[in-house]
Structure 1
């Protein structure tokens, strides 16, 4: 973490607020606090707020607010944020069918780690993952906290088609594909949930700062949840929990 936050220009209508040059929960907590504060303030002229691993990109209307005014506002928000972060966070449970055609690379992950497939599933689903940021497409989650035992390199040749809902591993990260797309992550499972739904507002129910818990399910449970999702009758488990109750 930097001793002093950096403010960088990004064109003539955006500013980057950079907190450090490493991926750390402490940095992410400060980013989440500033983003929440910015949203609460509803400052006229701010068009969009995009948090990343170690910075925030703020798009603004230079006709309504200047770069200098933006910097002063952001400095004030950062000073007003207390280090005693909230004791509660949102925990979202993601039902996941591991292996078979839903996770075709899980055997490779197990072999690479010198573990059994069941051990990989137990390890992967035994951690609550912090959502550091969203990208490279709407709803794609970049999660921190992957157990070192199942760290696995990306595919040597990316797939041209990955099914929506696929759960994967790439190096020391895990995450989910919200839409069908190409990709190079090792696929270990799939969720029947719609991670991106343009009929909903907002279309993505996960946000940076949330925690994700993967819950192993059977093929029968997958099919049943998939039917409920299609009928829009499935209730996603999103609850407030104390940080001390997380599995990290």
Structure 2
């Protein structure tokens, strides 16, 4: 699929009050850049019928405040807006960049041996690859605040567990297929456990309960278990201190 064709979405009415705009099938940064730009464009438009905008890997689903008699009129309006977007200048996307501390100690890396056996990498190589990559938060789902992150280096692609665990601890960092993710709450799960972060990605006691959102970027920073314990205790006392620890920065790019 060429770039011009991919940049124009396919449209599906998915319910009485929902419409999906899909930019191809691939899960990659190029496709997601169109998802981001389309989402931001609609948000800026602030259409009176729109209740919620939900981006995912390669699509944007909009939810309406009420059922409309002729959804094709709204679809045509949004597609026209998209086709006429900033004709003479590139679309500027502004995102947040975070650094997430992760402890890869044996206590927190239950599936490291499995990962090593499948990939042929050493423990040090696995950690190095995982921490020297910048990941896109493609979507939030499965659990409150759970980020689906890509793209994982190909050398770290490992199938998910054949039998999911009944309980994965909060803060667990795992990999599966071409993605990595962080469990914000205790939950069943089938990802390969690689490490653990002391950060609460979801904390109802904070001013902003969710740390991450779709479109953010992040990288992992390895820390020893002693630092993990210190941060865990600090954040239990001061939940808002998390924003001083993740070193949030702005990231701007053009498409």
TM-score (norm 1): 0.90
Bigger CA drift: 119-128 or 85-94?
A: 85-94
Aligned equivalent of 1:31: 35
Q: Which runs of 5+ in 1 are unaligned?
A: none
1:171-216 CA distance string (max 9 Å, x none): 1111111111101000100111111122335421211221110000
What does residue range 187-202 of structure 1 map to in structure 2 within 5 Å?
187-202=193-208
Bigger CA drift: 74-83 or 40-49?
A: 74-83
Aligned equivalent of 1:147: 153
Give SS of 1:214's match: strand
- Could you tell me how far apart the structure 2 residues matched to 1:215 and 1:160 are? 28
- Could you tell me how far apart the structure 2 residues matched to 1:151 and 1:99 are? 21
Q: Which runs of 5+ in 2 are unaligned?
A: none
Distance 1:229 1:76, change over 3 A: farther
1:113-154 CA distance string (max 9 Å, x none): 112111110110010011122212221111112111111111
- Could you tell me how far apart the structure 2 residues matched to 1:228 and 1:243 are? 35
TM-score (norm 2): 0.88
What does residue range 1-248 of structure 1 map to in structure 2 within 5 Å?
2-3=5-6, 4-63=8-67, 66-82=70-86, 84-86=90-92, 89-230=95-236, 231-232=238-239, 233-234=241-242, 235=244, 236-241=246-251
Report the RMSD for the aligned CA atoms in angstroms. Answer: 2.1
- Could you tell me how far apart the structure 2 residues matched to 1:91 and 1:103 are? 25
Q: How far apart are residue 87 of structure 1 and its match?
A: 6.9
1:38-95 CA distance string (max 9 Å, x none): 2222222211111111111111023578512320232133224348343754211110
- Conserved? CA contact 1:51–1:208, under 8 Å: yes
